[in-house]
Amino acid sequence: MKFLDESKIFVKAGDGGGGCISFLREKYIEFGGPNGGDGGRGGDVWAEASSDLNTLIDFRYAQHFKAQRGVHGMGKDRHGAAGKAVTLKVPVGTQILDETKEQVLFDLTEEGQRVLLARGGDGGYGNARFKTSTNQAPRKADPGWPGEERWLWLRLKLLADAGLVGLPNAGKSTFLSVCSRAQPKIADYPFTTLFPNLGVVDIDQVRYVVADIPGLIEGAHEGAGIGTRFLGHIERCGVLFHLIDGTQEDVVEAYKVVRGELEAYGQGLLNKPELVVLNKVDALSENDQRFKLELLERASGGPVFPLSGVSRFGLKPLVRAGLEQVRGNRQALREAEKATQAQDERASEAAPSSGGWQP
C-alpha cells in the first residue's frame, strides 16, 4: 500500500429541501386551509479518526465529497426527510487545515474522534407555517438553505512515542527491524527509506511506538534530498533516537548536520529529549569506538549509546533508555490533561447560573 500524508479535498454539505405550497381540498370537509410541509435538512459532512488507517491514500483518488440534500416538503403536512450525512474516515493523527494551509481547524488525535466539516442547510418552511388569523391562505413557502462547502487540506502526522533521525545509511531501518517486528526496506545505498515506517517495541511488559523517517542531509530544510517533508511525523514524539554511522570519519559533523536541520525546521524538535547513538560499532576497533564515543559525548553534552543493529549489541540498554523517556512524556501528558480538566471545571463552577435571581 502506498503512503500518502497530505491531500486536498472538497466537501459540500447537502442543501435544505424547499417548503411546499399546498391547500387541503377534501370532500365533506367544509373548511380547508394550507397544509404544505417543511423541507428536510441537508446532510452534514463529518470526519472521524480511525486506527484502522495509517495513510491518506484513499483521498488521492476521490477528492470531492457531497452529502445528500433534504427532500422537499409535500402536501397534507408531510415534511421532507433529512439528507444522509457523509463521514470521512481518516487515520488517527490527521490534521484538517483550511484552504490556505495556514490555520489548523481540527486535530484528530484519538480513536473515534468526530468533527463537523460542513453543516447541512436548513429546510424551508411550507405555507402551513405562515398561516395567521389575518392571512388564512398564505401562498408563500421558503426555499431550502444551501449547505456549507469548502476546500480543505488533510495532513497526517503519525502518532509515535519515539522518532528516529539521522543521516542516510545511519542504520535507522535496521534498528527498527531488530527492536520491533517491523520489516522496513534495508539496503546499502542512501535513501532506502522513502516514507515513514512504524514499529512497536515491547520491553518490560510495556509497549511503545517508534517512527522511522527518511534520512536528512545538509540543506534538507531548503529541499535537498527528500527535504524535511516527513519531519512532521515526529513532532508528536516524546523522544528522538539520533543514530550516527560510526564508520564515517567525522561523527561530530554528522551529529551537527542533523541538529542543524532540526533547528531550521523548528516546531520544537530541537528541544525534545535526545538519545545519541553511535551505530555500527561492530565495524570499529576498540580504540576507534572509545575515541568516537568521547567526541560525541563532548559534542552532545550527554551520554552516547554504542549500538550494533546487526549483532544487536547495546540494543536492550538503548530501548530501555527510550522507555524511560516515553514514560516521563506520557506522565507529563496525563498531568497536563488533568490540569486542563480541573481548569475547565473551575471555570464552569465560576460561571453564573442562567436561571434564578443572582444577588
248-271 pLDDT, tens digit per residue, is 888 899 899 888 888 888 888 888
Q: What is the pLDDT of residue 356?
A: 47
192 — alpha (psi -120 to 50), left (phi > 0) or beta?
A: alpha
Residues 271 and 246: beta-carbon distance below 8 Å: no
Torsion of CA 66, 68, 73, 78, to 10 degrees: -160
Amino acid 2: pLDDT: 61
Residues in the chain: 359
The rounded mean pLDDT for the chain is 86
Distance separating alpha carbons of residues 139 and 133, to the nearest angstrom = 15
Q: Taking residues 230-246, what's their average pLDDT?
A: 86
**Cell output for 21:** 405550497
More confident call, 291 vs 27: 291
Q: Are 221 and 263 in contact (CB under 8 A)?
A: no
Q: What is the CATH number of domain 162-333?
A: 3.40.50.300
Nearest 10 degrees: Cα torsion 249, 255, 256, 261: 130
Q: Do domains 6-156 and 162-333 have the same CATH topology?
A: no
Q: Does residue 188 carry a pLDDT above 80?
A: no
Rounded Cα–Cα distance for residues 314 and 283 (Å): 14
Q: Which residues of 101-136 are buried (b: 16+ CB within 10 A; e: fewer)?
A: eeeeebbbeeeebeeebbbbbbbbbbbbbbbeeeee
Do 141 and 36 meet the contact criterion of CB atoms below 8 Å apart? Answer: yes
Segment 233-262 shows an average pLDDT of 88
Instruction: Point out which residues pair with 239 in neighbouring strands.
Output: 162
| Residue 189 pLDDT grade (very low, low, confident, very high; cuts 50, 70, 90) | low
Q: Which residue has the cell 494551509?
A: 101
Q: Are 259 and 253 in contact (CB under 8 A)?
A: no
Report the chain's terminal Cα–Cα distance, integer Å.
65
CA 242 to CA 328: how far, in whole Å?
19
3-class DSSP assignment, residue 143:
coil
15: closest CA among 112, 80, 93, 105? 80
**For residue range 318-334, what is the model confidence (pLDDT) as tens digits?**
999 888 988 888 888 78
Grid coordinates representing 321 are: 533508555
Name the burial class of residue 75, with classes exposed (0-12), middle (13-18) and buried (19+) by CB atoms within 10 angstroms of its CB. Answer: middle
Q: d(Cα 208, Cα 159) in Å, to the nearest integer?
A: 11
Q: Show me where the domains of the chain are located.
A: 6-156, 162-333
| H and E: helices and strands count for the chain | 5, 16
Q: Beta 206-212 vs 162-165: how paired, if at all?
A: parallel
Q: Would the CA dihedral through 167, 173, 176, 182 be positive or negative? A: positive
Mark out the alpha helices in the chain (DSSP H runs): 58-61, 172-179, 251-265, 286-300, 315-350
Distance of CA 116 to the CA centre of its chain: 15
* Dist CA 56 CA 89 (whole Å): 9
- The pLDDT tens digits for 92-110 are 889 999 999 889 999 998 8
Q: Which residue has the cell 513532532?
A: 235
Per-residue confidence (pLDDT) for residue 267, from 0 to 100: 81
Please report the pLDDT score of residue 173 as a whole number.
87
Domain 6-156 part of CATH 3.60.21.10: no
Taking CA atoms, 303 is separated from 179, 275, 283, 295, in Å, by 20, 8, 21, 11
Helix (H, G, I), strand (E, B) or coil at 225: coil
Over residues 43-75, the pLDDT tens digits come to 999 999 998 888 888 898 899 999 999 999 999
Contacts (Cβ under 8 Å, ≥6 apart) of 113: 48, 49, 92
173 Cα distance to chain centroid? 24
